[in-house]
Structure 1
Amino acid sequence: MKKFDIRRLKIKPVSIDQIDDRMLLINLYATQAITLVIGFIWLLFQHRNPFLLFVLPEGLKFLYFGAGLAAAVIALDFLSARFVPDEANDDGGVNDRIFKHRAIWHVVVLSLIVSICEETLFRGAIQHQFGPYWTSIIFATIHVRYLKHWIPTGLVFAISYALGWIYIQTDTLWAPILAHFLIDMIMGFVIRFRREE
């Protein structure tokens, strides 16, 4: 029997253009499922009940914080798109591929899944252990497609920190989930309905 030699494994970089739409969606859903599972496991290691994070809070404070942050981020993104050259905001075409030809309901579903899964891991589990600053560094790092350009990397860090801040202010995960959902959904719709120049 041949021995397995890890040194013989070769990892080949793949560009977004080499992945078909079906595989892109499979990767997206798989990474979100993995993110949620890691978040739940991390919470269990912290001796916390993951389901308690999803108890709806009393009052509307979380709505104001979530919607307010989303409005600020979207305004900042529009300003950035207006004054910053396209090549400095380039994500390699990933967001265009994800949202451009997606049905409206699918944009909503994708945005909801991503916001719940990522906020469970980052705000619910990681921030509890490391605080909003280090959580935001990790969050910006996993959004690797932005790391080639400092402006989107800085924006992702700032948005993550703001998500962590509203989580602390409202004491509910629903505030950052709502903000993340609205940001992704509205920006997804912008990409979906944008006219080609």
Structure 2
Amino acid sequence: MSKQSEIVATMTDQELKLNVYLSQMIMLMLAIVLAFFVFPSWDEFSALFELELGLMIGVGGGVAIAIVVVDLILDRMLPKSWLDDGGINERVFKNLSLVELTLLCFVIAVAEELLFRAVLQTAFGLIIASTIFALIHFRYLKKPVLFINVWIVSFLLGVLFHWTGNIGVTIVAHFLIDFLLGLTIRQRYKRKQS
């Protein structure tokens, strides 16, 4: 973990953002390759993508807003050291334009939901997929509150996917969580600078 923070410290914000995009592209490619082994047919995989806007916005959006509200409450109530990710999220989100923020959050939501919900949860179940999702956020392993929070969010997204059978719902929820929290980070940084 200290090696990771040393590496991150030597990177520019632009290089850090590029690495986020690269990791998401790897996850997306992995999801596509693994989908061929998990789903017996393309039709079964594509059935996860029903365009039900009411469900996607109403349920996905509602779950996202609830998660963001809880996150913001935790941020106010808990010691900052418990929630410190080493400044990585701030470095990634602080200078993004709204278009860049939207694009980055969309890419993250699609790649991670396809891999962790559509493929891994379908293949191995909710608990294993949620645990793997939390473990890829390995910078949180020494931060129990952050790790548990990420695991719970992943679990809730998994429950949402299990309940709806629609990956679009979890993509919308994941996008909104990242977008709203990224927007919060961006606004806090701008306030600190003024």
Letter of the structure 1 residue corresponding to residue 150 of structure 2: V
Identity fraction in percent: 33
**Root mean square deviation, CA, Å:** 1.7
| SS at structure 2 position matched to 1:196 | helix
Does 2:187 match 1:196?
no
The match for 2:37 is 45
User: Structure 1 residues 125 and 115 mapped into 2: Cα distance closer, same or farther (>3 Å)?
Assistant: same
Q: TM (normalized to structure 2)?
A: 0.90
Unpaired segments ≥5 residues, structure 1: 1-11
The match for 2:125 is 131
Does 2:83 match 1:89?
yes
Contact 1:39 1:120 in 2 (8 A): yes
Does 2:122 match 1:146?
no
Cα distance, 1:71 vs. partner? 0.9
User: Structure 1 residues 15 and 86 mapped into 2: Cα distance closer, same or farther (>3 Å)?
Assistant: farther
1:166-191 superposed Cα distances (whole Å, 9 cap, x missing partner): 11111100111000000100111101
Letter of the structure 2 residue corresponding to residue 186 of structure 1: L
CA distance in 2, matches of 1:31, 1:59: 29
Cα distance, 1:102 vs. partner? 1.1
Letter of the structure 2 residue corresponding to residue 92 of structure 1: G
Contact 1:62 1:170 in 2 (8 A): no
**Structure number with higher helix proportion:** 2
The match for 2:19 is 27
Decide which of 8, 11, 17 is 2:9's aligned counterpart.
17
Matches within 5 A, 1:3-14: 13=4, 14=6
Letter of the structure 2 residue corresponding to residue 196 of structure 1: K
User: Structure 1 residues 133 and 17 mapped into 2: Cα distance closer, same or farther (>3 Å)?
Assistant: same
**Count of residue pairs brought into register by the alignment:** 186
Q: TM (normalized to structure 1)?
A: 0.88
1:127-146 superposed Cα distances (whole Å, 9 cap, x missing partner): 00111111111100001121
- Structure having the higher Rg: 1
Unpaired segments ≥5 residues, structure 2: none
CA distance in 2, matches of 1:58, 1:79: 31
Letter of the structure 2 residue corresponding to residue 106 of structure 1: E
